[in-house]
Structure 1
Amino acid sequence: MTHERRQDRSENPWTAGDLYLRAVAQRTGLEHLTLATREGLYLSGTGDKELANRVAAVAPLYVEEPAALRAGLIEELTDGQPMQVWRVTVRNRPFYLIGFGALTDMSEEVQHAFDRIFARPAPRTSN
């Protein structure tokens, strides 16, 4: 019996992003992956949406001005797990991918997947 690598699919890029991040989380052992804008807005992710919104909101400060964060805030958000942040680009704009768990390298495959998932739709041609 062959197992389809991607059983869950969606034409909606936001749903596809959620499904893809769920697969990345399972493969890497990371918990609660969140894709956030530089402005701190949640775009896509796995797990609890309320937590994802809080994580997205602090990601820019965590990366750019960590001293501005209240001591212990990250540990509270991650329940004591390490928080990792990777920069990814979607449609030529920078975003943050945030994960909780053991330190891991995020492969370039993730950037390529975001490029594919969030690519501009091809213009439709009429017959």
Structure 2
Amino acid sequence: MTHERRQDRSENPCLAGDLYLRAVAQRTGLEHLTLATHEGLLLAGAGDKDLGNRVAAVAPLYVEEPASLRAGLIDELTDGQPMQVWRVTVRDRPFYLIGFGTLTDMSEEVQDAFDRIFARPTPRAAN
């Protein structure tokens, strides 16, 4: 029996982000996905949350100042798997989507999904 991602939904943006990233990880074959803020905080993730927090913390340095990272740190975090980082924008702010495992291209659909998941709620009209 196949499990449809659309059955796993949430009104909570962070939980919705987790559910979405879990579906992306399964579809792409990535072992782990983390959506991190520019400041190094975990926003959403697929996989172990402790690992997600560590990955989120090093993502800004990995992208902006890779030479400042201790040699071998990324290999330790990813257990030797390749690490990829994609820049995404959420509410006009830069974020990093970090994945490790099989090298893959991330589709534009991912940015569109984050735009939907983390969009500002629309005000409800008064009756």
Tell me the TM-score normalized by structure 1.
Answer: 0.96
Question: What's 2:80 paired with?
Answer: 80
1:35 maps to 2:30:
no
> What's the C-alpha RMSD, in Å, of the aligned pairs?
1.5
* Runs of 4+ more than 3 Å apart: 1-5
Aligned to 1:105: 105
Unmatched 5+ stretches in structure 2 = none
Q: CA deviation at 1:52?
A: 0.6
TM-superposed CA distance for 1:45, in Å, is: 0.2
Unaligned runs of 5+ in 1: none
| Partner of residue 92, structure 2 | 92
1:1-127 pair list within 5 angstroms: 4-127=4-127
Judged with a 3 Å threshold, the aligned counterparts in structure 2 of structure 1 residues 123 and 52 are, in CA distance, closer, same or farther, namely same
Deviation at 1:5, TM superposition (A): 5.0
CA distance in 1, matches of 2:4, 2:71: 45
- State the TM-score, normalizing by the size of structure 2: 0.96
Provide the identity percentage: 87
How far did residue 3 of structure 1 move?
A: 6.9
**Cα distance change, pair 52–4 in 1 and its aligned pair in 2 (3 A):** closer
